[in-house]
Amino acid sequence: MAEPKKRLTSTRSGNRQSHDALKETTFVVCSNCKSKILPHRVCKVCGFYKGKKILVLKDEKKKVKKAQEELKDE
């Protein structure tokens, strides 16, 4: 295997590692349901983005199916 030609100084390692720290995740508040969400992404709790309904969530699909079945039964 290849070997390093020269020893790395602590300064050089430190300079490289100065960019390795993890940043804290930033959250924004959903305008519709007030839950914490990642910025520039659709809210997974209510399916809203920029005040508009974008996603139809699984729970809502079930509700719609149930409502349709109830209508059929009547």
The residue among 4 and 51 lying less far from Zn ion, judged by its C-beta, is: 51
Q: How far is the CB of 51 from Zn ion (least distance, A)?
A: 10
Out of 28, 29, 33, 54, the residue judged to bind Zn ion by CB under 5 A: 33
Encoded tokens for 19: 């960019």
Kindly indicate which of the ranges 3-11, 12-20, 26-34, 49-57 contains the residues binding Zn ion, using the contact rule CB under 5 A: 26-34
List C-alpha distances in Å: 26 to 19, 29, 48, 64.
18, 10, 19, 34
Q: How far is the CB of 48 from Zn ion (least distance, A)?
A: 5
Residues 6+ apart with CB under 8 A from 26: 38, 39
Contacting positions for Zn ion (CB under 5 A): 30, 32-33, 43, 45-46
